[in-house]
Chain A
């Protein structure tokens, strides 16, 4: 972040100066303030648990840097295994809002400096059955609670933290690619050749940012852990013009989207019939989807309105394949 503003007006009253006999608050840190126009300030937690005020627009701008601006605050290899105490990060993706613009993919690529062939969050054009309407389906790593990838890693290079995030230690990974074979959601990418680290020359390696990249190791979506710790939303969330992606802490029961709408996580799932993709695999994903009902965008065109002439066209093939070969 370029600018951090603390701007508190008014005094702080101490405990006991409150009204009413049945006062419940014993630690009454009272503040009042005026928000700066045009956008409201966003309170954010520092790693020390301190609340600071962040201009929303700045938080958004921060993600436009080509490389992680927070590499400095990312933890080292051993500390990164712990996770943020008391947190359980969770993501909700509203398929009714996703318009397939791939802003999330682009922002994520910029933020993590990924080569073009690696989309940590990839947008699929899904069609569940031949006659059902197609919809867009952004797919990050699901940070499964029973992650098949983590089960099979022979050296514990990929691991699950207590805040729910599944990370990779690229200084330990032996490049066996078993995790890639084991992830049923095809989420993992490999550094087949020598990576271009020219944009992260001076960064110390941290599993929380995954840079500098290492040849012969695995990488994937990491839920931007070093930013989440500071109360900054992941790049895919803030870049979504449709505000379709929510991110938050399940322990707090709240998720926030790009419009800074913070809603109750459990209520959102309840009201919108949230589900997890292929949950029957028992992987217990930490990414929830809201069904594409009452869509806010024009439907992706359906190739099945006219039967495809050439079966080799990728579009036709894909949807056909996903429709379950219903010839």
Chain B
């Protein structure tokens, strides 16, 4: 019995090893040192990145005026790229996590690729906002003076959380494969340095049952937590627009609309990437029609959902027809440039992909899907552009009525930076596939062993291609990522101070004025203001006196009245007249007649006015005040702590894996 079990175990181990060798052999062409063609590809990407960096340096030197953005159109291609890449990033993690959680077996050979897309798209998308900033040198202000009230801060938190989460997720799922790469000769003959890195990263994973259990636990936890994180990220991105009061942005459906659009474009990105890797590295046996078919179905479902959301959004806007919304709809669906772009997007993202995928053709599934995916990706970029620019053009007060005609045409700087961003994404992906298995070996092996090759949608019977010619040592020459530190030099012109010294004014000697005594007394119907006019102790009757209240920039009249026999005039002291904090008021009595004295006046500070606050009330907790509303702070705190404590839990599992290796 015992012997039989050991034999079984041995047989299983042999099977497992053979299977593993089989899969590794199929990945050999991707892990082999770069071929001249690949070098050419990498070289051109590096060139594009360098061009992008140079364009950005140019922008840093001259300011954002080198872009096409101007008054009214204050966001453009950079923000478009930001939203677009964050959208693409959704594919990965979300699809891989959902499929993992639901136990879809065919996912096994595509998860790695999907997760990598997420990480790299984020790495390119997130810096786009920094590129868009007028003062990137002050980026630290976001940490020093950050206000929780601002959706930008929510974005900073959620994107940081997402990027850490998806890196962690990618890494956890890669640990067994790293362990596999580590030993010399397992995959590479010569790469000792890299193997040491892999070995170090693999945390001493040996596949013992204890380590297996811990890994499964970590992976399952990550897969669950990353789903809400991914959804929150694109929701928060949409809120940058949704939280404003702009036509076309201030929409409650924006969060889910963006999320669906993001998953949609992300799925398309995965399909494109799969097709390219399949072709370039001959992975037909691992990425079969099965994966494409299932992803195609998913894409179709998302396509229909996307149509639904689009309808919900634009039908409401068009039907409700608020004044500014009408102008926006006219701009988007009319005859102008944006109208054409809108219908192009509608064709690329709504109608054509659905038609192409639904065609009842059995043949050419993969090419069809690739065409649809590329259309979708182009279309989604256009859509992001259309969300941003036309709305910025549609202001409540049309600028044309002040003779201003805003327009936006991206400049070469913006295009070059955009291409540089795209090239960075592609380069990161290319390099990743060169140094790590782009298909999860251990998951595929496990799947074949557990449910059979057919059920996970791989074809391990298909012969592997002969190993490609090797190009020794070339990998050592991999160009390091080009790092350019650009400092903006700010020159402030300093000149000499010229202050015009003002000569003290000369006093003129005026003609004698009567004495005007102002006071307030209690009258029969409430308080009165009185002014007594006397010249050398003689009261002046029948003089017109105007009573005035001194205010910040002038004097408010309380009325003009003639003096009586005793030289006194009086007006009612109005109720509720605001005074200073002590309830005091400066009252001025000005003579209007007789003509000789018309510029004479007297004044007094009297009590009895309404006291005004000496200091304004302290700011309440409000969105506009320095103090964020309590509920908002609490929500952000709770959400972040849930996610980050889950991450910590996963990291603890990783530490345990490391410990289990030592024991």
Show the binding face of A for B, using Cβ within 8 Å. 1-5, 7, 9-10, 13, 18-20, 22-37, 40, 42-45, 51, 83, 85-88, 117-119, 122-127, 137, 139, 146-148, 150-157, 159-160, 162-163, 172-178, 180-182, 184-186, 189-194, 197-198, 201-202, 212, 214-217, 228, 231-233, 247-249, 251-256, 260-264, 278, 281, 283, 314-315, 317-319, 321-322, 324-325
Nearest chain B residue, comparing its CB with the CB of A18: B519
Show the binding face of B for A, using Cβ within 8 Å. 62-65, 67, 69-72, 74-75, 129, 132-136, 138-139, 141-142, 144-147, 149-153, 156, 240-241, 243-246, 323, 326-327, 330, 392, 395-403, 405, 490, 492-498, 500, 502, 505, 507-508, 510-511, 513-522, 527, 530, 532, 549-557, 577-578, 580-581, 584, 586, 588, 599-608, 612-617, 619, 622-626
Q: B-side binding surface: helix, strand, loop or mixed?
A: loop
Q: A-side binding surface: helix, strand, loop or mixed?
A: loop
Nearest chain A residue, comparing its CB with the CB of B584: A27
B510 touches A260 (CB 8 A): no
Give chain A residues whose Cβ lies under 8 Å from the Cβ of B554.
42, 254, 256, 260-262
B551 touches A194 (CB 8 A): no
Interface centre among B64, B74, B505, B552 (most CB of A within 10 A): B552
Give chain B residues whose Cβ lies under 8 Å from the Cβ of A160.
619, 624-625
Give chain A residues whose Cβ lies under 8 Å from the Cβ of B556.
254, 262-264
B513 touches A10 (CB 8 A): yes
Distance from B565 Cβ to chain A, minimum over Cβ atoms (Å):
15
Distance from A286 Cβ to chain B, minimum over Cβ atoms (Å):
13
Complex Cα spacing A87 to B327, Å: 40
A177 touches B134 (CB 8 A): yes
**In-complex Cβ contact of A156 among B510, B603, B604, B626 (8 A):** B626
**In-complex Cβ contact of A202 among B75, B150, B496 (8 A):** B496
**In-complex Cβ contact of A197 among B145, B151, B492, B613 (8 A):** B492
Give chain B residues whose Cβ lies under 8 Å from the Cβ of A20.
519, 521-522, 530
B402 touches A123 (CB 8 A): yes
**In-complex Cβ contact of A175 among B135, B246, B399, B496 (8 A):** B135
B150 touches A217 (CB 8 A): no
Complex Cα spacing A163 to B613, Å: 12
A252 touches B578 (CB 8 A): yes
Nearest chain A residue, comparing its CB with the CB of B518: A30
B603 touches A13 (CB 8 A): no
A83 touches B616 (CB 8 A): yes
With A32-B516, A32-B603 known, 6 other A-B pairs at CB within 8 A are A2-B502, A19-B532, A150-B624, A155-B141, A192-B70, A231-B553
Distance from A263 Cβ to chain B, minimum over Cβ atoms (Å):
6
B326 touches A325 (CB 8 A): yes
Complex Cα spacing A262 to B460, Å: 91
Complex Cα spacing A85 to B71, Å: 34
Complex Cα spacing A199 to B619, Å: 36
Contact A186/B401 with A162-B616, A172-B145 known, Cβ cut-off 8 Å: no
B395 touches A25 (CB 8 A): no
Contact A178/B516 with A216-B134, A228-B552 known, Cβ cut-off 8 Å: no
Give chain B residues whose Cβ lies under 8 Å from the Cβ of A139.
397
21 A-B contact pairs sorted by A residue (CB < 8 Å): A18-B519, A19-B517, A19-B530, A29-B603, A29-B605, A30-B517, A32-B516, A32-B602, A34-B513, A36-B510, A124-B397, A151-B243, A162-B615, A174-B135, A175-B133, A177-B74, A190-B71, A191-B134, A264-B556, A278-B396, A318-B398
